[in-house]
């Protein structure tokens, strides 16, 4: 299984976004290890049900990517166009 993320949909604190754009380091929020928001997958056919059941929570849910066939991780709409990620996670030890 692979993943394709859409950079323009990330919710990133404005000062961080400026730095990442300047350094073209869009992989950092995905692989840096500081995960403060929940990321989950939902089958496409259940998307409407998810929205219906969470509407009353006043909790924004944003699609930031898609699970794809094959392997690997790709950033779409990165400053360099489509960018393949080489480093896929934070190594604690």
The tally of CA atoms less than 13 A away on the side-chain side of residue 43 is 2
Nearest residue to 3 via CA among 85, 79, 60: 85
| Position 19 confidence tier, pLDDT thresholds 50, 70, 90 | confident
Q: Which residues pair with 68 in a beta bridge?
A: 2
Mean pLDDT of 62-90: 76
pTM of this prediction exceeds 0.75: no
Mean pLDDT of 16-21: 74
Mean pLDDT of 10-35: 71
Percent of the chain whose pLDDT exceeds 90: 8
Question: What are the sequence ranges of the domains in the chain?
Answer: 2-84
């Amino acid at each position: 299984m692979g993943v394709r993320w859409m950079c323009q949909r990330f919710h990133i604190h404005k000062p961080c976004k400026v730095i990442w754009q300047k350094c073209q380091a869009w992989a950092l929020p995905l692989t840096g290890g500081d995960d403060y928001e929940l990321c989950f997958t939902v089958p496409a056919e259940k998307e409407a049900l998810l929205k219906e059941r969470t509407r009353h929570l006043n909790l924004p849910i944003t699609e930031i990517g898609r699970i794809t066939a094959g392997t690997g991780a790709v950033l779409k709409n990165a400053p360099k166009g489509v960018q393949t990620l080489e480093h896929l996670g934070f190594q604690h030890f």
